Structure 1
Amino acid sequence: MTQPHTATPATAPRDLAGYRAVFVHAHPDDEAITTGGAIADLAARGADVLVVTCTLGEEGEVIGETYQHLVADEADQLGGFRIGELGASISNMRARSEFLGGAGRFRDSGMAGSPASRNPRAFVNAGPEAVELLAGILRRERPHLVVTYGPDGGYGHPDHIHAHEIAHAAAEQVGVPRILWAVRLAEGTAALMPDRAPDGWRLPEDGELDGVERSDIRLELNDAAYSAKIEAMRAHATQLWIADGRVSATNPHGALAEGPVVYYALSNLIVQPIQRVEHYQLGAGVPVTDPSGGLLGGIER
C-alpha cells in the first residue's frame, strides 16, 4: 500500500538532521526529473544528500539554437557543458554532487545498440570497477538510504539499467539499510495532461511515456519542494524545456502549457507534467513504516 507523506517546507524543523541519503543517477538531469522533490525535501529537513552521477550525458540532444553544435557528432563538448547545468541543479536542491570515478570517467552509452555503447569507456561496459567505485563512496558516506531506478531503468535506457545494477551491488556489499526505486505512476501522468500542447509540441500517444501501476511510498510536494524541483529541472536547459513562458540564453523561445501543474518536454517535444507527487518502490531492505519521515521513515538514525 502506498504510504503518503507531504514534503516539509524549508522553514520547518530540521527533523532529519543526522540522516544521510545517496541518489545514484545515470546522467545530469535525471536527478531533477525523477527525484528532485525528494532531494529538496530531504535536504530542507536537514538530511545530508549526495547525488552520484555516472556519466556526463555526452550523447544527449540539445534544445535551443545557442549550443546546438556541442553534440557528440560535432564538437563533442556537451558533456563538459552539462557539468555546469548539473551544478546549478544540485544547488537549487541544496544537495551535494559528485561523478562516479570523477567527471568524465565513464561515458554516456546512448540508447541500446547505438555506436556509443561500443565505446570501451561507455558506462554499460564499466563492470566491477563501477561497483567498487560506488561501494567506496557508500563506505565513506554511510548512507541510511540509496535511491536509484528500478530494474528496467524507468524507460529502458541501458545506463539507467546499469545504474540500478551497480547501486544494488554496492549497497548490498556495504550494507545500506534501504534501497528505493524512483517510479512514475501511469495513471497520475495521464490525469494531468493539458487539453492542448504548446505550439510545435505534441501530446503523448498511448503508452509512449513510462509508468507503473503501483508504488510503496507517495511523496506529496509542497510549494517549496515543488519549486525547487522545477528550478533544478530548469537548470538543465539544453535538455529540458519548461513550458511556463520563460526564455533563457540557452533557449531563447518561450512555450506555455495551461493545466493544473507546470509542464516540460525533452528534445522530442512531447508534453509531460511536472507532478506535485513523486512515487517510490522498495527495492531492498527496511520497509517504510513511518511515513512522517518521508523516504527515511522507519530507519534508526
Structure 2
Amino acid sequence: MTPTRDLAGYRVVAVHAHPDDESISTGGALADLARRGADVLVVTCTLGEEGEVIGETYAQLIADEADQLGGYRIGELARALAALGVRGTFLGGAGHYRDSGMAGSAASRNPRAFVNCGEGGVDKLAEILEAERPHLVITYDPNGGYGHPDHIRAHEVAHAAAERTGVPRLVWAARLRSELEGGLPAQAPDGWRLPAPGELDAVDGTETWVELGEETYRAKVEAMRAHATQITIGEAAGPEGLTTYALSNLITQVITRREHYRSGAGAPLRAGGGLLEGIAK
C-alpha cells in the first residue's frame, strides 16, 4: 500500500555519533518520516573506528590491528541509509572526527577525537542546519543514551547548533524499559545471554512514540542487518514475536514495535503526538 505523503515539505536532521546508532536508536522513525514524504538527513559524527567487531571475519580491521574498521563502516552505513530511504553525510566530511572510544581511553586523547571537537564541531553542524533548515532535529539525551562520550558530545553539539540556527524542535531518542524488557524471549539464542534486570539502557517514561508498521519495521531490521561488523540479527522470538539482535557483548535484545522520543528543546512534544505535530511547514 502506498504510504500517505502527509509530511511532504518537512525536513528532518538526525545527529548520531557512529554508524549503526541511526538504525538502532532511530531507524523506525527515520524510515517512517521518509516514507511519509519528509526529507531526512542523517549526520554521522565519526566513522566508529574504535568499535568492537563480531566474529573473526572482520577481527583484523579494528583500531589495534589494521585500523581499517572506520572505512569499512562507511559502506555499512550507506547500505543502512538506503534501507531506511534517507540521506547521509559526515560532520566535517568522512574521517574528520575520530571515534573517541570509552571514557578515559587512549583514543579520547587523540586531538581528532570527537570529544575534543570544541566549538568547531558546533560550527560545522550549524552550517549543515543552516543549509538544511530542518523543522526537527533528533539526537540523544544528556547522557547519550548509555553514557558513551561521543553520544554525549553529539547531544551537546546538536543542542548548541540547533539553538544557534533556530530549529523549531529537537527531540531525544529513548527506549522504554517496559517494552524493551517485556519483549525478551524466555531463553537466549545459543551463544547469547539474556540481560540482567536493569542492564539495558532504558527509561521509564516518554512523551511520545512512533509505531512501526510492517514495512517500517522490516526497513529498520534490514538497516541494522547492514551493520554486520556491529550487530547480529536473530530470529523472531519472545511473547511478542519480536526480532532479536545482539551486539558484540552477545546480550539478547529485541527490536520493539515502537520507538520512543522525549522533548529536548524548542516546541515540546504533545503526549502521544507526532514528532512533527504542531510545527508549521
Give the TM-score normalised by the residue count of structure 1.
Answer: 0.91
Q: Which residue of 2 aligns with 1:278?
A: 259
Q: Is structure 2 residue 265 aligned with structure 1 residue 298?
A: no
Checking the alignment, whether the CA contact within 8 Å between 1:196 and 1:257 is kept in structure 2 is: no
Q: Is structure 2 residue 39 aligned with structure 1 residue 48?
A: yes
Residue number among 64, 77, 85 corresponding to 1:86 in the alignment? 77
Higher relative contact order (CA 8 A, sep 6+): 1
Measure, in 2, the Cα distance between the counterparts of 1:289 and 1:274: 24
Measure, in 2, the Cα distance between the counterparts of 1:271 and 1:198: 8
State the 1:288 CA deviation: 2.9
Q: Which residue of 2 aligns with 1:223?
A: 214
Q: Which residue of 2 aligns with 1:119?
A: 110
Q: Which amino acid aligns with 2:10?
A: Y
Checking the alignment, whether the CA contact within 8 Å between 1:287 and 1:298 is kept in structure 2 is: no
Measure, in 2, the Cα distance between the counterparts of 1:58 and 1:43: 28
Q: Is structure 2 residue 65 aligned with structure 1 residue 74?
A: yes
Checking the alignment, whether the CA contact within 8 Å between 1:20 and 1:144 is kept in structure 2 is: yes
Q: Which residue of 2 aligns with 1:250?
A: none
Q: Which residue of 1 aligns with 2:48?
A: 57
Deviations 1:70-96 (A, max 9, x none): 000000000000000000000001100
Q: How does 1:193-212 map to 2 (within 5 A)?
A: 193-212=184-203
Q: Which runs of 4+ in 1 moved over 2 A?
A: 256-259, 287-292
State the 1:295 CA deviation: 1.2
Q: Is structure 2 residue 262 aligned with structure 1 residue 268?
A: no
Q: Which residue of 2 aligns with 1:181?
A: 172
Measure, in 2, the Cα distance between the counterparts of 1:290 and 1:165: 25
Q: Which amino acid aligns with 2:27?
A: G
Measure, in 2, the Cα distance between the counterparts of 1:188 and 1:257: 14
Q: How does 1:90-109 map to 2 (within 5 A)?
A: 90-109=81-100
Checking the alignment, whether the CA contact within 8 Å between 1:17 and 1:48 is kept in structure 2 is: yes
Q: Which amino acid aligns with 1:242?
A: I
Secondary structure of 1:264 counterpart: strand
Secondary structure of 1:151 counterpart: coil
Secondary structure of 1:24 counterpart: strand
Checking the alignment, whether the CA contact within 8 Å between 1:146 and 1:180 is kept in structure 2 is: yes
Q: Which amino acid aligns with 2:211?
A: E
Q: How does 1:157-168 map to 2 (within 5 A)?
A: 157-168=148-159
State the 1:290 CA deviation: 9.0
Compute the RMSD of aligned alpha carbons.
1.3
Secondary structure of 2:210 counterpart: strand
Measure, in 1, the Cα distance between the counterparts of 2:201 and 2:166: 30
Deviations 1:201-240 (A, max 9, x none): 0000122110111101111111011110000000000000
Check 1:280–1:147 CA distance in 2 against 1; reply closer, same or farther (3 A cut): same
Measure, in 2, the Cα distance between the counterparts of 1:82 and 1:258: 30
Range that drifts further, 208-217 or 162-171? 208-217
State the 1:153 CA deviation: 0.2
Checking the alignment, whether the CA contact within 8 Å between 2:207 and 2:272 is kept in structure 1 is: no
Give the TM-score normalised by the residue count of structure 2.
Answer: 0.97
Checking the alignment, whether the CA contact within 8 Å between 2:184 and 2:238 is kept in structure 1 is: no
